[in-house]
Structure 1
């Protein structure tokens, strides 16, 4: 019945299989106003979020709830306290922006003498490392640990290009009307956000124009998706070799400051001989060429903008409504995400294992696990059968390895 409700039996599948298979679901599930797109997976995600919301809203039991679950419920309750969020307004963020390396040049002295940015004290490495280590903001550089692509039983450090303010690189480069409207919306949003935090409007317009120019230069050198092949992105070398290839940046110092030795104790004594996979070496060469010729103030303005941008969902409604104006142009959303939905997503992001445990303890169905294991086993044996009976292009040795895998 669930499957039949999603199809349109009045359409001949031979004429239009998509309409036959999907019309029922599309007609019964319009895109929510707070989402840019919708499908079966977002629908499933929403249903999981509703169940997790109910669990997080249950009162804390010192006897039943382990400490981690108690903390998750407290964090959720704090996130849901909209009255306190409105009262605090921008104060929590402004407190952060008064401390080095978070000082935002565009705010000038409007934030107070203790928040004035100093070019002499600015350190690109320290700022990038602090943003990544304390706030999980990857700007210019994305550093992470994951399995080695060619030795999957080993974990290795990887360095990649980071994201941009706009989701799609081409929106900085295309001259289409749509792409230009996205850039205009981003520029106005940057200016207005700075002004909401206390910047002078003419100064904000001038500084954010330079910031957008810098981000466009970064977009130009980013490796496009079609060129990010597994072989092209596997460039294994040690940190010493990386430092020789790109000497403008203290790679070892950056990695040491970012890596949490409590999570990765084997990296506690990391040194120049430590291997890394540099996924985009040409991007990094071009990046530091660009940064070397850019004003430090513009770089600092861009870095802090990216941190501020990521914090807007945590601020009061006046910031969120300005974000909604921006989102309406970029994504087509017309309403803000409900606070409970935002808070559930925050818990899932900040405490994924705790959220997972809470959900599984109540909603996990053992029979569904057994059903999926049976399904996967069937797929595995069907694949092996295909290798043995239908595959003609693999030699015997390759077939053997494929079966083992």
Structure 2
């Protein structure tokens, strides 16, 4: 109570003294706070608590992996691709047998080495299924180089002695039974035999696929076929590079004919006509920018097709291609059978050209294309001639190792057999659980962005977009049917391989592949199934089934990091890829398909026009990127779909990652990696860049620009991060308006 008594004078003295103390504390505190803020602004002091570090072996491994890839002397704000990838690129030069090299090819070869080890194991009649035994025999025959050298060109020459494979350029050098006859030549029979028995599509590509507007049903489709060179423009351009490629192709055709017994002067004469014909075909092909889903959906019956292009007996061609002994239910194919003619104008122009061309030139071209496709299966003297050709068009200087070539062949021929072999040993089922987390996180992020950030799409279109996003079906690892040994064995029961007859084995596989897709013609589309090779190092979106697909081959470091590693790495790598594939359902092509996979306009006119207007900015951005190594600018319109997917995928994955931090860690950041001063957000973006580290030879760079659907890797990385404000925040970059 005494404290409450006393005169007013004593109270005043105490108050003045307290004011002076408070003032001193305020001034001193302000000075200290200013110093602290200065130190923080200069990066010398952090306001946060001391960061937590992960010292597990997995984190040390991840830190070492990151340090091996980066170039810390590059400012990430100036060139993030170089900052993230220079170290890896400098330590991993392009192998002499490859046109380009990067993380994807590195992982591809890693998978191939695992397949090599599996295929080289001795056959166990008890343990190996019939299908696996056949795969091992096929691989062994491919590796039997002694037998291949001994056979030399004899297996191919045996084919060329019989109609419809007689090659006019060989004349009588192949023997009297192999002399080509103009009177006996049939374009229809030759095309049908090539497609139906050897899976060689020349001039015409006939195949079975889902009907774009009735996606539950399969239908026959007709399209333009590929050319000898990968890039159509190389037949048309007058650039020095394009001319050198045409010259190299011509020389390769001549030399191959001579190796098979042709007179050199005759070969030079005939192959000039062949090249001229192929240039004419290139001129009439529908370019990529005109191959839109709407333009290529021309559904009609065979009778209507025959009326539109009467120069060719379409019904006879289709019936000759399909082996009704395998599919007796297809005997009823007739004039009323529906087909989708994807390029009507091309076919009109094609038969106009062929109608005025010499039959001998047409026959020379057709058989050249068959011979060209079989060169990889011949002896070394043919391989080395191919290498001279490849040196010009790809820049490679050595052949692939025989084992690598053989693994690739077996994988493409028997994908589900080697797929099962691979996943049994190298795929962990718990990866599916983590992938589900990533996929659902990205799905949430897409819908959340649609609701909160998309201000230009009208409510009706936005509602349907969310419905489609919720309907996207994800497939991870491998199709379940590959584990059904009875099914796979039955599928291959007609094939009998020999370890000493590689060429004969190849012909069997070609016949098998030629007829496989006709199995589906009268069957419904299995919307919940998928048919991707499990060893594929890639991911996919299917518009007709509204599926995203992630095969086992893709789900490995540095794409997929397990639960024992920081989530920032997986969200930045495979998470962005999930977002990329998800976004394909809404890009300039995927957006045309509804949630059920049907080509059906579901956007309002207003939203569609606004979408097209917004894509102009992205087209311009990427078109302004110049690639010195290729000597060309990126084709912003050609690569638009992939650029949209890159930008969308990056944003969705980052949003999903931050939600994971908030939901699973209550907003507390993950422990940092030891020995490197990068935040988790920075690690996310670095992981995104790392899976795209890649370098190219000039020849491959040019092909990537001319024919690739994707922008070159450095522009994929730098383009997407420069458009994303969260990247700029993470690396404290100045804002870049886009």
* Coarse TM-score class (shorter-chain normalised): over 0.9
Q: Which residue in the other structure is 2:257 paired with?
A: 194
Provide the secondary structure at the position in 2 that maps to 1:9. coil
How many angstroms does 1:278 deviate by?
1.0
How many angstroms does 1:268 deviate by?
4.2
Q: 1:194 to 1:20 in 2, by over 3 A?
A: same
Q: 1:165 to 1:92 in 2, by over 3 A?
A: same
**1:9-30 CA-partner distances (Å, limit 9, x unpaired):** 2211111112112212211221
Provide the secondary structure at the position in 2 that maps to 1:152. strand
Of the three residues 227, 233, 237, the one matched with 1:174 is: 237
My pick for the range that moved more, 232-241 or 213-222, is 232-241
TM-score w.r.t. length of structure 2 = 0.54
**1:190-213 CA-partner distances (Å, limit 9, x unpaired):** 111001100111111110010011
How many angstroms does 1:105 deviate by?
0.5
**1:148-181 CA-partner distances (Å, limit 9, x unpaired):** 2222222221111111111111111111111111
Q: 1:51 to 1:263 in 2, by over 3 A?
A: farther
Number of paired residues?
405
Quote the Cα distance in structure 2 between the aligned partners of 1:188 and 1:386.
Answer: 55
Q: 1:163 to 1:179 in 2, by over 3 A?
A: same
In structure 2, runs of 5+ residues without a counterpart are 1-63, 468-737
Q: Whose Rg is larger?
A: 2
Quote the Cα distance in structure 2 between the aligned partners of 1:23 and 1:85.
Answer: 42
How many angstroms does 1:376 deviate by?
1.1
CA RMSD between the two structures: 2.1
Pairwise mapping of residues 19-168 of structure 1 onto structure 2 (< 5 A)? Answer: 19-168=82-231
Quote the Cα distance in structure 2 between the aligned partners of 1:199 and 1:19.
Answer: 51
Quote the Cα distance in structure 2 between the aligned partners of 1:283 and 1:391.
Answer: 40
Quote the Cα distance in structure 1 between the aligned partners of 2:328 and 2:66.
Answer: 49
Quote the Cα distance in structure 1 between the aligned partners of 2:459 and 2:117.
Answer: 55
How many angstroms does 1:391 deviate by?
2.6
Of the three residues 397, 419, 443, the one matched with 1:334 is: 397
How many angstroms does 1:400 deviate by?
3.0
Quote the Cα distance in structure 1 between the aligned partners of 2:231 and 2:342.
Answer: 19
**1:69-119 CA-partner distances (Å, limit 9, x unpaired):** 100100100010000111111000000111111100000111111111111
How many angstroms does 1:249 deviate by?
0.8
How many angstroms does 1:8 deviate by?
1.6
Q: 1:260 to 1:44 in 2, by over 3 A?
A: farther
Q: Which residue in the other structure is 2:368 paired with?
A: 305
How many angstroms does 1:40 deviate by?
1.8
Quote the Cα distance in structure 2 between the aligned partners of 1:124 and 1:285.
Answer: 16
Quote the Cα distance in structure 2 between the aligned partners of 1:115 and 1:403.
Answer: 63
1:7 equivalenced with 2:70 (yes/no): yes
My pick for the range that moved more, 137-146 or 256-265, is 256-265
TM-score w.r.t. length of structure 1 = 0.96
Provide the secondary structure at the position in 2 that maps to 1:38. strand
In structure 1, runs of 5+ residues without a counterpart are none
Quote the Cα distance in structure 1 between the aligned partners of 2:364 and 2:174.
Answer: 15
My pick for the range that moved more, 69-78 or 144-153, is 144-153
Quote the Cα distance in structure 1 between the aligned partners of 2:430 and 2:327.
Answer: 36
How many angstroms does 1:264 deviate by?
6.3
How many angstroms does 1:281 deviate by?
0.7
Q: 1:54 to 1:236 in 2, by over 3 A?
A: same
Provide the secondary structure at the position in 1 that maps to 2:208. strand
Provide the secondary structure at the position in 1 that maps to 2:223. strand
Quote the Cα distance in structure 1 between the aligned partners of 2:236 and 2:306.
Answer: 31
**1:226-268 CA-partner distances (Å, limit 9, x unpaired):** 2111211111111111111111111111112223557767644
Q: 1:126 to 1:291 in 2, by over 3 A?
A: same
Q: 1:7 to 1:155 in 2, by over 3 A?
A: farther
